[in-house]
Structures are given as structure tokens and as C-alpha cells.
Structure 1
Amino acid sequence: MIDIVTLLPDWLRSADILAMIAGGATLAVILMMWNAFLVKDALPGRIKNLEKRRTHLKTTLANETKQRSKLIVRENIMHQVVKKLQLMRGERARIMAAKLAKGGWRSKDALVAYLFAKISVPLVSGILALLYLLGTNPWKWSIPVCLLASVGVGFVGYMLPDILVKNKVAKRYALIRKSLPDALDLLVICTEAGLNLDSGLDRVCREIANSAPELADELGLTSIEIGFLPDRKQALANLANRVDIQAMTTLVNTLVQTEKYGTPLAVALRVLAAEMREERLMKAEEKAARLPAIMTVPMIIFILPALFIVLIGPAVLKALDAFSKGG
């Protein structure tokens, strides 16, 4: 029988080396047994966490369903009131829907909410004002004056939805005007890379979705209309109607002319972006030049009286003291 130890090299025949090898093998066997029998299985914990997550999602979904049902009931009430009064018909409703679209509200529910507010806000505000004036009457007004004041409050409530929509449209146009040159630069890069107009608009919308969501919304809608309308000029005309500012009108005219005459789109957009940046710089310089004229009235009202008091006040007080002592 062949002895295995005699076959090993001389440096492996020592007892210490053999003991180290045996200890390493024993440690490996112990680790294998530990992993096999003593390590806890993580599956029950994962199942418990999934069950908690499922319960939380069910609770959240139930709360959202309740809130949504309440909102649907409110919307149904508004729809019924507007439908019975036949406010959705007529040219004024169509004009108001276009105006709401300029502010970013394009759904039919937005028009219903606006028409309902035009009815309910003046009535509620006028009635509350009349009850307050007749109940407390803090200024001791007569009944006709209270009625007239409540009518005035109702008129303010009637004009309030229009004022809110107008402010929303103005703020939206200002944001679009501010971000339009940067979007044109991105569109120039896309067209130079070989993309057509609708693909370039899609790419620009994805890039500016976080920094300029208003402009991304309008350009994305234009890209969709270019895809399904038979004439892309109509889609560009719709963009100019929705965003009724000079910069957007110029952009639409430029795009129509490049398509009509076959001029390079990238060159035209680059020139247009440079012109818009120069226009924005000129407006900033104009505001800076108007600043001294605007500050004149506040300086006269608030700063000069205080300055006169500080400069002339001590002399006036000394003169009064001298006159009082002399008398």
C-alpha cells in the first residue's frame, strides 16, 4: 500500500503544515454547516414586508377612491347646473374655452368650472356681504347703501374668475417668452443632427420638460397635431393662436416660410434665436433705463421727508430753544 505522505514534497511533510491543512478543511466544513443549517431564511421577512406594503397600498387606494368620488359628485353638480342653464352654448363659451386653453386649461371640465364660478361666486359673495352688512352694520349704513355695497361685492365676484384667468395667461406667456430662445437653440441642434421638424419638437419637449413645462406642453401638442393633421400649416397656426405673443408668431411664420421656399431650417432658427436673445437683452436694458424715473416718486414721498427731518430738524430745534429762552 502506497503511503500518501511519502509522495508529498519535503516542505509539506512537517506536522505543522499538515495540521494547518486539516484545520482549514475543518473550518470550511463548519462554515458549510453554518450556511446550511444555522443561517435564518430571509423569505418570511420579505413576505411580511410585502404584506405590509400591500395593506398600505389598499388603504391609500381606498382613500383616493373616496376623494375621487367626492370630486366626481362636485363635478356632476357643476355639470348639471351649467347644462340646465345652457351656458355651454353660444359664441361666448367658445371664446372662453380658447382663452382657458391659452392659460393651460384645455379640458371641458375647466370650462364647466369657469362657467359655474361665474354664476356662483357673485351670488355667494353678494349674499354674504349683504348678510354681514345687515347683521353687524359696522359703518351704520342705511339699507339702500348696504344693498348697493352688496351689489358691488357681487360685481367684484363676477369679475374675479376673469381676472384669475387673465393673470394665469399673462404668467404663462411670460414663462414661454423667457424659455423660447433656449428651446430654439436645442431645435437648431436637432435639425442639424438630421431630425425633421416633428421629431425635433419631440426631442426638445423631452429636454425642456423640467425647466420649461409650459413651452414643452405647447410644443408637444404642436408635434402631435403635425403628425395627424393633413396640413402642418394648420398645426403651426394653432400654436400661434394658443400662444399669442410676438415671438411665437415670428417663429411660426419662419417655419411656414422655410417649408414653403425650401430654405434651411437650422439657419433660419439660428438667426431667429439670436434675434430673440437680442430682444430680451434690449428689454432688460429698457427696464434698467426706466428705473430712475420709477424711483423718483418713492424717493420724493418716503426718502426726502426723512432726509429733511434729519438735516433740518436739529437747526429747527435749536432755533425754537433760542426763541423760547429769548422770550
Structure 2
Amino acid sequence: MIKKRSFVNMEWIIHIKNFQSYLRIERGLSKNTIENYSYDIERLVSFLKENKIDVSPIKITEESVQQFIYAVSKQVNTRSQSRIISGLKSFFSYLIFEDLRSNNPLELIDSPKTGRKLPDTLSVEEIDNLIAAIDLSSSEGERNRAMIETLYGCGLRVSELITLKNSDLFFEEGFIKITGKGNKQRFVPISEVTQKYIEMYRETVRIHVNIQKGYEDTLFLNRRGRQLTRAMIFTIIKNLAVKIKLNKTISPHTLRHSFATHLLENGADLRSIQLMLGHESITTTEIYVHLDRKFLTNVLHSFHPRKNA
């Protein structure tokens, strides 16, 4: 999880490892959340190294942290900036808790107001173009097509995709079993088209992979026979977007949001979308799904009892 080459000195590595253990054992946070916290700290220490600020997490000053936040504000949106500040505050609060620091260098730094941002979506045509751009002459091409079809066709989170097992596939029943946030399981419908591409990948590519011990049941594998990383999925989709000259910033989550939006636009009810996405509260689904004015107008005209009065 920690890239040693990115850090200023061993003190950072030691304290971050201890912080990770604290988050996992004391706070019971998920692996993905811990990775996000660690990534935010890694950005800080990479900044320190680039600017030749050789200082430990115990002695880093408020001024150095402010310089980092100012630099980050030029690189990321306000939502990402807010998350980075929150992650760093938690790290330094942990150091205070362990009596390693007496103050938090981010104490006076406020997170920017993010508001409510509706995620970008892709049109059906753009998704078709994205998939059509995959080079099927390579073994990775068959795998990548099956992965993108599954991301979009089932509305999965990227973490759910990379941990999907062969034993989670119930094609005869038309469902796949997904283990989502908090290890909560749900069954999601899977179309015959998506099933077809998964089977093609399994029968023509995966069968020839030298699968490493512990990954025998993992569906999507890298060339070394291991589970793919989230970063790899991001890279695959980003490269395809560049290839078709898509003028949008997209990620695996864009496909999940497009899945929900397209279902809603074609008449699916929010409750069904909520169940497929694995949201605990339908309020989350209402925020997540882009409720455009055209759709709401159509709902009114179709279902209001006095539409023809």
C-alpha cells in the first residue's frame, strides 16, 4: 500500500503504517477507505520531497501544510481538496492521540464548500464508442470488454468488479452476487449480452492464464494471474476515452452513474435502482441519479390524474 520511494524519510512510513493499523483495528474502516487516507498522506509527503522540505510528521509545521494545500487547490476540484484536508486532519489527530504531537497543523484550515455536484454521465452512443475502441486482437481486449460491459451493464462499483468471483455468477438464474460496502451482499440482474462477453473471456482468455494461488476464483485477472487493481481499471477507461477523443473526464464510477441514469430515463423506478446499486437509503439514490427536468416533466404528464383535465 505504501510506496517507499515517494516518502521523505522512514519516519513517515512507520507512522503511516501505525495509522493504518489504527484505522483498521480501532475504527474498523474498510480497506478502500484506508487506502484513500494513505493516498492523501502520500500526496503530502511527495510534495515535501519535491520541494526539498525534509521534515518528519511529528515536526511538520502549519506553514508547510498550507503550502501543500495551496498547491493541491490548483490541481484538483473542491470535492477532492476537501477529502484530502479531511484525511490529513485525521492523520494528525491520530498523532495527537498517540501523544506524538501537541497540535494539528490543519486546525485552522477549513475545507472548501463543495455543494452538490451531479456526476457526469455518458450517452448510450458514447458507451458504445468506448467499447468499440477496445483492441480485441489482444487477450487483454477480451477481458477489458467483459469488464466494461459488466461495470455498465450491472452498475457496479470498481471495487465490486475487481473482487467479483466465478462462484458469484448465477447465469442460469440471470443474477450475479455482489459484495458491496460493509461486506453487504446483494443480487444484481445480468443481461444475456453481458453474460456472453464474460463467457467469451473465460473460455478464450482466462483459461490460459497462469492463475496464482489465492486467485483461483477471481473472475478478472491481470497477466500475472492476480486480481486487478482499481488503478488499472481507471487507466483502461481513461485510455479508451482518449482514444475516442471523448471530451469528458470519466472514471469507472461514470459507468455506474450512467447505468442508473439510463434506467431512470427509460422508466425504471427509484426503488429498483436503489436495490441494484446497493444503496442503504433511497435518499442516496435520489442524489446519485441525475433527475433532469425532461424526465420529471414526462413523469408528470404520464402519471398525474388530471393530466388531461
Please indicate the TM-score interval, normalised by the length of the shorter structure: under 0.3
TM-score by length of 2: 0.28
**Structure with greater proportional helix content:** 1
